[in-house]
Structure 1
């Protein structure tokens, strides 16, 4: 084969999911189970935060350890930065907890972070591209199932339990949280579009899944979820532009708007009252608990002035706050509880997700996957403004999986100019 032919072959589209290898690495099917269960936060113990997904992760770890198949660098060259970020985050919380005698709370919080940030990547990340794509597809399927379950609870179950549907009829489903459920819907949309753009998903899968995800996001009545979904679609279009993607997004968006105007009854009341009215009036006060969260954020800024070096310790913000609640902003919460060191650790964790997708973004073949990683990383960074500690597996598994997609891509190299071109 000529040099030119080899270069053309290297830039051919990636094989479709139907071409996945029949043999899988150890623990792969258990990893699939862990990923599928990860959004289903409902299946957990009450006494301690251990989910059904965690059990699958532990069993997979045992199998992989027995067979010597644990990855040494689950995030490739960025693994060191990821571990450094975890150590900085944990050290800051440790110093603050020791200074304020909060050792018990520190143990609980750090056990959760260690499991999410160190053990889960050993099972989910560091796999081949075929396996990582398969895991991403399993995650999308799981989120679709979560949305369908929530719809069933709202439309067909009289007086559904509050853990699935809030008192004001906002869908929580198996995630048991409104905003996080909506954000997971947005993440699934991004995964779908990115995989389709890269040739790993079929058009009929988008046509089936996207309406379910869109309606599920509306049922949550979440402004955050709607913003994440719109941002995710926009970023995929910017980072991995194509004519068919633009046409598809325009057709879908136009169809949703047309149906909404033609059949107003299709728009859930909770979405109309919490989201559309606030947008129309340009008044965030109409968007649920925005004012209450702002009070906590203002308090967090005020308290952080004296805790930049040594924080107040793990889970201590709620004990000091006049509102008896943690601030729903991870950046401010870590700054208060772990000082600048913990906050810098969080930043390092997010920076670890940048090298792989940025290195692949210039190459058309890899652009869909790289755009998916960057978009979900940005959604994660934005969502940290809306909840406290982020060790829950229903959120970290999608993040780790998104980073793994770009890390699983082959090393991208620009084709070298031919000798004749050099001497021309």
Structure 2
């Protein structure tokens, strides 16, 4: 058999007779849609950096309160996510994304003013308000990604979104950290200038929201070849909607989502504090190491997505969980900045790959209620984001600085079993399935 020749933006998959059909991977406006995320993501790295830095170094509060302030954002999103889940399948997704973008504009502005006025309460309020309003952003955006991409290349589609976040983070990081360090050097103590990138990113998020609203056609969805149908699967879903097996599968999926989020937030927010206080790196080197690690992992997202599309979900999750646990152990047992940075890059990349595999799986559970499912999953993730930093801060303060990371290792390994139980129970109920071919037919696009 001749090898299959793939063309750019083409998807090779099966029809109902188990043959391969070639069609586009994404809709015509997909690339324009994900490019808009570039503008939204300009402030991501600076935001991630300043929350633990400002609370610990400027406000000088203890680690438990640092964890509570970090948790304020997901707490805010908890209030809006159920409502957003209902709206996604009922109203304009573009309008919801616009509200989310403007939410960052309001939040960044409040945080900047609060730093200038040395107000921890105001700063925490800004973080909380971001959670409330940004809760309108990601569930509808992720739903649009699923609607505008092939189920066979869904991880790659989410990876392209991650790649644009990475490029935005690079540009935003270069701008914000340059201003931060130059003002610290030449205008020491002038926090209004040092944290002024927050205002710049506030304005750019407003621009991004309105650009998204005017450029994206949400009525344009991915076209599935008429020879291909998931009706058989949809019928199975209807007949077995109350099946105990499906309910058990959903419960384990929700648990896995929450534990995965807890695992991430137990250690991640405290990495830079660990580097500053335990390994004694200076602030500039810590910023640089985190900046490089996070951006590289995001830029690699499209390639990681391609890998995720090729791996069975359970195998991929198992491999990545074991690697992630090992990397975390090595991270907390090295005092070399270069090795630490390389391990951090790998750790973030592994986490990114796992996230893409899970998003792919979640997007294929249902096509009719995709928005609601994304919102429910988001809500469980938020619970993990709230609990994780609190556990991380408490274990740091009352046990040891390495305790959050050791806890994270055990949680990451436990995810293998939880995801196994979720996938084994849900596999037969997926609305979009991927089947292996018996023969190949290559059609023109």
What TM-score comes out, normalization by structure 2 length?
A: 0.28
Q: Name the structure, 1 or 2, with higher relative contact order (CA <8 Å, separation 6+).
A: 2
